[in-house]
Chains A and B, each alone.
Chain A
């Protein structure tokens, strides 16, 4: 018959091209900066090993048919069809592949979901459109500023980290490609997971669930540092938080919300005196409010205003407060829009 060496060569070229495409895919995959991420990478490679022969086999047979069975004469093609036996084989082959594949996936899932005793506990809040990381044991937080600067999560290397993920508004997704992991931040739910970064460096993260206008800018960084550097960073952050202070200037406070941030980080009023707050919201279509708490843990609430949809402004009267160091925030956006509230 007319089967020249041509088909073989073509098949070989096609196989080579396909194999290199697969290699390319494997080479591009991130290998993970945590044991959990490395597990997932291993699963990626295992599925590749199972999938590659299927891909190459089907494409090879397809190309073979195209080359070998081109119509060359007017003889009718054989009118044979497959019987029940071939049908059983057709069902059996993919079933076997699935039976091999599924346990690998489950094993990886169990491994990455294994809980470790966390050394660092961080409550991660997503909001439109940035992140706040609250270090629960250290009593401090870092927040990103929408369109201006992404939040940075500093982590000590080789220590298990527990993330408690929440959202203040719509669904977001906490995604660090180098961890090979993401988890949705869902309003009304707290989702917890752990991982252990084992590699020093700064790794990009980003919201992975579409969340509105500036979804594409909802980025953050994970900075993995040596334990000593981590301690130093904690100390510095604490000092920075405590260092904020200001003096009362009368009993009228005026605050402007613009681009999802306040124009002031410190407010002060005289002790045991009623005061008024003027709030101007310049963010079109975005809600803000103003609340006073004991601290960002929100254990005790002293004052709260209704939500104001911008552009709008409102003047509010507040009851006197005893002297002390308080905390204010916009409840829509949380600590990312907060500051010190000092009563003297």
Chain B
């Protein structure tokens, strides 16, 4: 077995104090963990906001929170979940595992890596600090449409400042990922042997450097409108309100794919590992990722069908075209499972749940892609259902699959399988109870972003059901956090490769040493660890196939 000796790096002596280590680290693995800790903290905040909203909506009439507070909550809930939870969790997993999966020592620019992480908590806290400002936090929705965004108080300025920081962080991070993936691969790790998760992160990073600067420019323009007397977006002073929507969604739709490409990568890898089969069509996955990356820049105005100010057939067909590469992914996933030897470990449960739920999120988007139909369901709870089936049923289930899959690698400890199963089933059931009824609410005409509704609209019962589901989700997540915290107290006992996996991160100890690899296995395919395992078992053990 050919072994490539990884170059050893002189390790700086450990600085005093564990806290200082975490504050000053440039190790991609530590930074990856910082990303996760930070993101799950904001996830808790955003989740509590969601519970408050669901509790308020459980019955018609105002019970718990007033209209203004409700408007703040859904704004900050959306902003946190998108910019400070889902995206940075994927970026954190990327930080930890991209260098490991390509056999590198670290990210290409370790200090920029630290910077792009530390901008995140600062940005997130800036956004949250709006609650302390006069007039409260931004209360304009995460899309914060013009010219409403010109009216509101300091909370919007803090929201803008926070997002500019977070956007800058993601641009820096994306450049870092691209350079790392293009320049730091181990010998033998060709582009077409990259793990699919790395492809997901690469595609995400391309989207970030093409789309996020546009958004950041938009944020600065809005700030200038609000504080420097320009009028890009304010029609009362000669601006164009729809310009904001065009800028926002030119970024905002690619953003959706930034939020899911990484999760697709995680799920594809996990399906392959736990069915004991290679990915049914690796080329199909890579091709789909790249097609979606390209197509995602042509669909933004499907968020604007109801404005009556966009070219409907064009944006309708481009949107529907995206379902072609997405459909290919489903075929690849099912093809990978087909005739496999499925092991229902917790990561696999979440990956299978992902397929079942993301399918619904993909299909219910088809209605919204047809403009005539979209006029009926746009800005209703149908869309709330759709986006949560994509970002929660899809991405968050994918993220959870990844957390259970990689937790042993990151911590050296296996999460409890039993608690993991409880977590999965409660989250799966709770998710559907919460979000499926929202389709029907949307068809019955319940608009999104309303703090209250009248009892005579026929929305009350389903809202109550949805609220019950939200608490089931909350319980499932408490189980997850309990699982993580109790497991972290146990001794490190996880083997290097507990799952019989395929990719390079499993070729090193759990957790990996600071320099990642003592020795790299030879890389002759996209599954170097699988190859090594087969070679070790000897040819006689291989079965007849």
Q: Is the CB of B284 within 8 A of A82?
A: yes
Q: Given A44-B367, A183-B308, A213-B67 in contact, is the A58-B359 Cβ separation under 8 Å?
A: yes
Q: Is the CB of B148 within 8 A of A62?
A: no
Task: Kindly list chain B residues whose C-beta atoms are within 8 Å of the C-beta of A95.
Answer: 324
Residue B439 at the chain A interface, CB threshold 8 Å: yes
Tell me the residues in window 314-362 of chain B with beta carbons closer than 8 Å to chain A beta carbons: 316-317, 320-321, 323-328, 330-332, 334-335, 337-344, 352, 355-356, 359-360
Q: Is the CB of B148 within 8 A of A28?
A: no
Query: Measured between C-beta atoms, what is the minimum distance from B199 to chain A in Å?
Result: 16
Contact string against B for A residues 75-114, beta-carbon threshold 8 Å, 1 for contact and 0 otherwise: 1111111100011011101110110011011101100100
Residue B295 at the chain A interface, CB threshold 8 Å: no
Residue A187 at the chain B interface, CB threshold 8 Å: yes
Assembled-state Cα–Cα distance A209/B143 (Å): 11
Assembled-state Cα–Cα distance A21/B440 (Å): 10
Q: Is the CB of A187 within 8 A of B241?
A: yes
Contact string against A for B residues 268-285, beta-carbon threshold 8 Å, 1 for contact and 0 otherwise: 000000011111111110
Residue A241 at the chain B interface, CB threshold 8 Å: no
Interface range, B side: 35 or more
Q: Is the CB of B241 within 8 A of A183?
A: no
B278, B323, B360, B449: the one within 8 Å of A79 (CB): B278
Q: Which residue of B lies closest to A214 (CB)?
A: B67
B145, B312, B338: the one within 8 Å of A170 (CB): B145
Task: Kindly list chain A residues whose C-beta atoms are within 8 Å of the C-beta of B3.
Answer: none
Query: Measured between C-beta atoms, what is the minimum distance from A249 to chain B in Å?
Result: 36
B328, B366, B380: the one within 8 Å of A90 (CB): B328
Assembled-state Cα–Cα distance A189/B245 (Å): 15
Task: Kindly list chain A residues whose C-beta atoms are within 8 Å of the C-beta of B542.
Answer: 76
Q: Which residue of B lies closest to A191 (CB)?
A: B308
Residue A13 at the chain B interface, CB threshold 8 Å: no
Q: Is the CB of B317 within 8 A of A30?
A: no
B306, B448, B453: the one within 8 Å of A182 (CB): B306
Residue B151 at the chain A interface, CB threshold 8 Å: yes
Residue A193 at the chain B interface, CB threshold 8 Å: yes
Q: Is the CB of B281 within 8 A of A71?
A: no
Q: Is the CB of A55 within 8 A of B359?
A: yes
Assembled-state Cα–Cα distance A71/B345 (Å): 11
Task: Kindly list chain B residues whose C-beta atoms are within 8 Å of the C-beta of A70.
Answer: 342, 344
Q: Is the CB of A30 within 8 A of B378?
A: no
Residue A316 at the chain B interface, CB threshold 8 Å: no
Task: Kindly list chain B residues whose C-beta atoms are within 8 Å of the C-beta of A187.
Answer: 147, 235-236, 241
Assembled-state Cα–Cα distance A80/B337 (Å): 12
Task: Kindly list chain A residues whose C-beta atoms are within 8 Å of the C-beta of B366.
Answer: 47, 50-51, 101
Residue A227 at the chain B interface, CB threshold 8 Å: no
Residue A188 at the chain B interface, CB threshold 8 Å: yes
Assembled-state Cα–Cα distance A58/B361 (Å): 13
Residue B497 at the chain A interface, CB threshold 8 Å: no
Assembled-state Cα–Cα distance A170/B236 (Å): 10
Residue B372 at the chain A interface, CB threshold 8 Å: yes
Task: Kindly list chain B residues whose C-beta atoms are within 8 Å of the C-beta of A219.
Answer: 454
Assembled-state Cα–Cα distance A39/B275 (Å): 46
Q: Is the CB of A180 within 8 A of B334?
A: no
Assembled-state Cα–Cα distance A44/B141 (Å): 28
Q: Is the CB of A208 within 8 A of B360?
A: no
Q: Given A28-B440, A78-B277 in contact, is the A216-B352 Cβ separation under 8 Å?
A: no
Query: Measured between C-beta atoms, what is the minimum distance from A116 to chain B in Å?
Result: 17
Residue B110 at the chain A interface, CB threshold 8 Å: no
Q: Is the CB of B379 within 8 A of A175?
A: yes
Q: Is the CB of B276 within 8 A of A76?
A: yes
Task: Kindly list chain B residues whose C-beta atoms are within 8 Å of the C-beta of A213.
Answer: 67-68, 71, 139
Q: Is the CB of A171 within 8 A of B439?
A: no
Assembled-state Cα–Cα distance A189/B146 (Å): 14
For the complex of A and B, 6 pairs with smallest distance between CB atoms: A177-B445, A94-B327, A188-B235, A105-B370, A216-B450, A180-B376
Name 24 A/B residue pairs within 8 A (Cβ), A-sorted. Answer: A40-B372, A43-B370, A44-B367, A44-B376, A50-B366, A55-B360, A62-B356, A65-B337, A76-B543, A77-B275, A86-B331, A109-B313, A109-B371, A170-B148, A173-B306, A173-B379, A175-B445, A177-B376, A182-B375, A183-B306, A187-B236, A187-B241, A191-B308, A216-B450
Name B residues whose Cβ lies closer than 8 Å to a Cβ of A: 67-68, 70-71, 139-141, 145-148, 151-152, 235-236, 240-242, 275-284, 287, 306-309, 312-313, 316-317, 320-321, 323-328, 330-332, 334-335, 337-344, 352, 355-356, 359-360, 363, 366-367, 369-373, 375-376, 378-380, 436, 439-440, 443-445, 447-454, 457, 542-543, 545
